[in-house]
């Protein structure tokens, strides 16, 4: 009976690991990105705003909500575990921006449930 229980446990753990995904991208301030996305589009015929600065929405020491901006521009928000680790990295790497990260986890709605995060 113990052998069956161990086999079931191993299979369950293996299936959870199979569900994990990995994303790489730039660490950003997720709240800033949300505000930028919610900004109204300019009226037709009006002057187009200049393109945002390269460091727009880079996290600072006061950032509490982090995300990973993928190469296609999509931003994946991090859960509390990811936010904690990203906040540490931001404080430890002051002046070294933009921070790049590789995140492993699973999507829960619009948020990544972070298993591991490697910030460079």
The whole-number average pLDDT for the span 107-119 is 93
Provide the CB-side half-sphere exposure for 105 (13 A, CA).
Answer: 24
Which residue is listed with tokens 């829960």? Answer: 108
- Count the domains in the chain: 1
- 1-10, 76-85, 97-106: which range is least confident on average? 1-10
SS (H, E, C) 41-74: CCCCCCCCCCCCCCCCCCCCCCCCCEEEECCCCC
Which residues form the domain of 65? 19-37+55-119
CATH number for the domain harbouring residue 27: 2.40.50
Asked, for residue 88, whether it belongs to a domain, the answer is yes
For residue 94, the model assigns a pLDDT of 72
């Amino acid at each position: 009976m113990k052998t069956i229980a161990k086999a079931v446990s191993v299979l369950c753990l293996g299936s959870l690991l199979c569900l994990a995904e990995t994303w790489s991208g730039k660490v950003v301030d997720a709240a800033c990105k949300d505000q930028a996305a919610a900004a109204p589009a300019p009226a037709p015929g009006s002057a187009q705003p200049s393109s945002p600065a390269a460091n727009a929405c880079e996290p600072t020491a006061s950032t509490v909500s982090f995300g990973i901006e993928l190469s296609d521009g999509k931003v994946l928000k991090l859960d509390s575990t990811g936010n904690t680790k990203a906040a540490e990295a931001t404080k430890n790497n002051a002046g070294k921006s933009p921070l790049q990260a590789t995140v492993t986890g699973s999507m829960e709605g619009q948020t990544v449930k972070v298993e591991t995060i490697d910030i460079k």
